[in-house]
């Protein structure tokens, strides 16, 4: 019994040590993040990288702005009027993140943590006509803001921290193994804990990949959003039509030239019989 007790105690201690090791490793991996926004030529765009085990597991480039309604007292101090704060994600923000096989997360904090953005990504498989297909998407957005912060909020009523969450979100849907790219603006509505207030999140210049990054600091093949694809088609369509029109004109001129040359080489038979004596 004593040997069994010692063996059990040793095994228990080993399990506790392994749990502590995995917990510590997870914490260390979560802290392995980089803000590379200084490399961007767009002053409004931020670049965030999450790394685990020395390799890149999440990359995100985007510009974000939040339109936040809030109440202030009217001049009569009886009525309430609604003002609007425009809050942009600034460079030098603090960033945290974690990566998983089917779930990844990015957290960004700025202005002394008066503002915090959390984005949750999930990867999932579903059955299609061609067989099982895997995609990833942005499944949740949370924005925490402090209306006591004086840069963007002026004398807000019920000032303090509020949390705005997305509801049943399915955005940036992308085939697994690819990155999502979209230059056009995209809006996401967030329900605020401030009663009857909806925060609007505006994303632009987006390039994100939260899973399956093959090369360090390099995005995989891009999956463009429908708006960008349509704009690209609108830009290239006049060029294509111009090329087709030019080709039609060239072919028409070539046919006319060949026909004219063949007609000129034919022997003209005189219609006036008096001209026959001049022939031969």
Identify any residues that bridge with 209 across adjacent strands, giving them in sequence order. 59
Q: 174: closest CA among 130, 218, 123, 216?
A: 123
Domain ranges of the chain: 28-233
> Which residues, in sequence order, are CB contacts of 35 under 8 Å at separation 6+?
46, 47, 48, 91, 92, 93, 94, 95
Q: 183: closest CA among 148, 228, 213?
A: 228
Q: How far is Cα 138 from Cα 92, in angstroms, rounded to an integer?
A: 24
- The stretches of 32-121 forming alpha helices (DSSP H) are none
234: region left, alpha or beta (phi > 0 left; psi from -120 to 50 alpha): alpha
Q: How far is Cα 99 from Cα 21, in angstroms, rounded to an integer?
A: 18
In this prediction, residues 65-90 reach a mean pLDDT of 96
How sure is the predictor about 42, in pLDDT bands with cuts at 50, 70 and 90? confident
Q: 170: closest CA among 213, 136, 126?
A: 136
Percent of the chain with pLDDT over 90: 59
4: region left, alpha or beta (phi > 0 left; psi from -120 to 50 alpha): alpha
In the prediction, which pLDDT does 263 show?
73
Higher-pLDDT residue of 115 and 252 is: 115
Mean pLDDT of the chain: 83
* pLDDT (tens digit per residue) in 170-225: 999 999 999 999 999 999 999 999 999 999 999 999 999 999 999 999 999 999 99
Distances in whole angstroms, Cα of residue 152 to Cα of each of 63, 70, 146, 165, 200? 18, 11, 10, 20, 15
* pLDDT (tens digit per residue) in 253-270: 677 667 667 776 665 555
In the prediction, which pLDDT does 207 show?
97
pTM over 0.75, yes/no: no
* pLDDT (tens digit per residue) in 96-144: 999 999 999 999 999 999 999 999 999 999 887 777 899 999 999 999 9
In the prediction, which pLDDT does 78 show?
93
Q: Which of 30-39, 43-52, 201-210, 236-245 has the highest mean pLDDT?
A: 201-210
pLDDT for 238 beyond 70:
no
Indicate the class that CATH gives domain 28-233: mainly beta
Beta-strand pair 103-110/94-98: antiparallel
């Amino acid at each position: 019994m004593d040997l069994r007790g010692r063996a059990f105690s040793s095994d228990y201690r080993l399990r506790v040590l392994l749990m502590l090791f995995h917990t510590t490793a997870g914490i260390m991996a979560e802290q392995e993040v980089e803000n590379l926004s200084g490399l961007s030529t767009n002053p409004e765009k931020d670049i965030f990288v999450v790394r685990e085990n020395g390799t890149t597991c999440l990359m995100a480039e985007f510009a974000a702005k939040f339109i936040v309604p809030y109440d202030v007292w009217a001049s009569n101090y009886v009525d309430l009027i609604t003002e609007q704060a425009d809050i942009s994600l600034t460079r030098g923000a603090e960033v945290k993140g974690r990566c998983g096989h089917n779930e990844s997360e990015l957290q960004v904090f700025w202005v002394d943590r008066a503002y915090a953005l959390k984005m949750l990504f999930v990867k999932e498989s579903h059955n299609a006509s061609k067989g099982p297909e895997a995609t990833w998407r942005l499944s949740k957005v949370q924005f925490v803001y402090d209306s006591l912060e004086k840069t963007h909020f002026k004398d807000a009523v019920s000032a303090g921290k509020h949390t705005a969450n997305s509801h049943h979100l399915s955005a940036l849907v992308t085939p697994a193994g690819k990155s999502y790219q979209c230059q056009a603006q995209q809006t996401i509505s967030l329900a605020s804990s401030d009663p009857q207030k909806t925060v609007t999140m505006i994303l632009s210049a987006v390039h994100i990949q939260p899973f399956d990054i093959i090369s360090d600091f390099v995005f995989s093949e891009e999956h463009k959003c429908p708006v960008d694809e349509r704009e690209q088609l609108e830009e290239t369509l006049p060029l294509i039509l111009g090329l087709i029109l030019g080709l039609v004109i060239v072919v028409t001129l070539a046919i006319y030239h060949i026909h004219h040359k063949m007609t000129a080489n034919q022997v003209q038979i005189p219609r006036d019989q008096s001209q026959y004596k001049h022939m031969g």
